[in-house]
């Protein structure tokens, strides 16, 4: 039986470098030869070798006896933090980077594509390219898109298109829309991320999206955040939906 890590990351080093010099967060800084990604006040994440260097990641997988890893771009925001056209262009570049990694290590990695959400039609075209040309296993979508709710009308068309293709969506935590009081990484990771993911998943359920697209497969990271503890109340207000829970291996 194969052991599969369904939630592990790579980082596109070119994207990390591109975040340097921004006037506002998120941005990256070079510190002692290593990049630090300043995601939000109190949340600085290092660009670790095991996320950038795939030879190192492969050694780690072998040490843990993991046969296959599902790779997604690992920063708590997507290229959507950039301007609209730039966001779509960087989504393509990140996906090309991931495709090269998969080609270099055949049989070891499966890809989850990134979406820029700059322009709806360009995002849909990139979804098609990820699935039909690059051969990715699904898409990664963040729990909010540049501080906009995921169930906003401007994003629903993209999610419906993914459902039509039969591809799963991995819902990854993002910097919460309201991060008042989240002043340290421990607070973001333990409280902020599970909350924002849960809010996004429940809003998608209550929006009627799953009634319109019952084949949509939503994978909610980190054991579904707070959803398992709220299941009874959620079912009181919404039709049960195909929401799947995952956790870091």
* CATH of residue 225: 3.20.20.140
Evaluate whether residue 36 is within a structural domain: no
pLDDT of residue 226: 76
- Taking the C-alpha atoms of residue 64 and residue 77, their distance in angstroms, rounded to an integer, is 28
Query: Rounded to 5 degrees, what angle do the CA atoms 228, 243, 5 make?
Result: 90
Q: Is residue 151 part of a domain?
A: yes
Q: Say if residues 73 and 140 touch (Cβ distance below 8 Å).
A: yes
Domain range for 128 is: 4-12+51-245
Taking the model in full, what pTM does it have? 0.91
Q: CA-CA distance, 156 to 208, in Å (whole number)?
A: 11
Residue 20, domain member (yes or no): no
Query: How far is Cα of residue 183 from the mean position of the Cα atoms in its chain?
Result: 22
Note down pLDDT in tens along the chain; length 249 residues.
Answer: 899 999 999 999 999 999 998 999 999 999 988 999 999 999 999 999 899 999 999 999 999 999 999 999 999 999 999 988 999 999 999 999 999 999 999 999 999 999 999 999 999 999 999 999 999 999 999 999 999 999 999 999 999 999 999 999 999 999 999 999 999 999 999 999 999 999 999 999 999 999 999 999 999 987 777 777 676 554 444 444 444 444 332
In the chain, the number of structural domains is: 1
CA neighbor of 141 nearest in space, from 114, 109, 168, 165: 114
Residue 197 sits at the vertex; the CA angle it makes with 201 and 39, to the nearest 5 degrees, is 145
> Residue 202 belongs to what H/E stretch?
helix 193-206
- CA-nearest of 94, 55, 101 to 74 is 94
Residue 108 lies in a domain: yes
For residue 224, the model assigns a pLDDT of 76
Examine residue 57 and state whether it is found in any structural domain, yes or no.
Answer: yes
SS3 173: coil
- 45: in domain: no
28 lies in some domain: no
Position 56 scores a pLDDT of: 95
Kindly state whether residue 18 falls inside one of the protein's structural domains: no
Among 242, 248, 192, which residue's Cα sits nearest to residue 222?
248
Enter the DSSP assignment of 20.
B
Are the CB atoms for 85 and 121 separated by under 8 Å? Answer: no
71, 101 contact by CB (below 8 A): yes
């Amino acid at each position: 039986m194969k052991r599969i890590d369904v939630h592990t990351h790579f980082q596109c080093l070119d994207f990390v470098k591109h975040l340097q010099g921004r006037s506002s967060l998120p941005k990256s800084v070079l510190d002692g030869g290593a990049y630090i990604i300043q995601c939000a006040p109190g949340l600085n994440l290092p660009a670790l070798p095991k996320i950038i260097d795939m030879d190192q990641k492969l050694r780690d997988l072998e040490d843990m006896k993991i046969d296959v890893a599902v790779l997604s771009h690992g920063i708590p925001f997507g290229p959507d933090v950039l301007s609209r056209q730039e966001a779509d262009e960087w989504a393509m570049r990140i996906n090309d980077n991931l495709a090269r990694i998969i080609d270099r290590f055949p049989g070891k990695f499966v890809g989850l594509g990134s979406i820029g959400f700059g322009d709806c039609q360009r995002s849909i075209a990139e979804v098609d390219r990820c699935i039909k040309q690059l051969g990715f296993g699904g898409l990664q979508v963040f729990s909010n898109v540049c501080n906009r709710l995921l169930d906003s009308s401007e994003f629903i068309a993209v999610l419906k298109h993914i459902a039509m293709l039969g591809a799963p969506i991995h819902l990854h935590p993002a910097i919460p829309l309201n991060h008042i009081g989240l002043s340290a990484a421990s607070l973001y990771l333990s409280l902020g991320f599970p909350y924002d993911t849960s809010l996004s998943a429940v809003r998608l359920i209550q929006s009627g999206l799953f009634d319109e697209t019952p084949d949509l497969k939503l994978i909610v990271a980190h054991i579904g955040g707070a959803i398992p503890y709220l299941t009874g109340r959620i079912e009181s207000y919404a039709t049960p939906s195909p929401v799947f829970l995952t956790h870091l291996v």
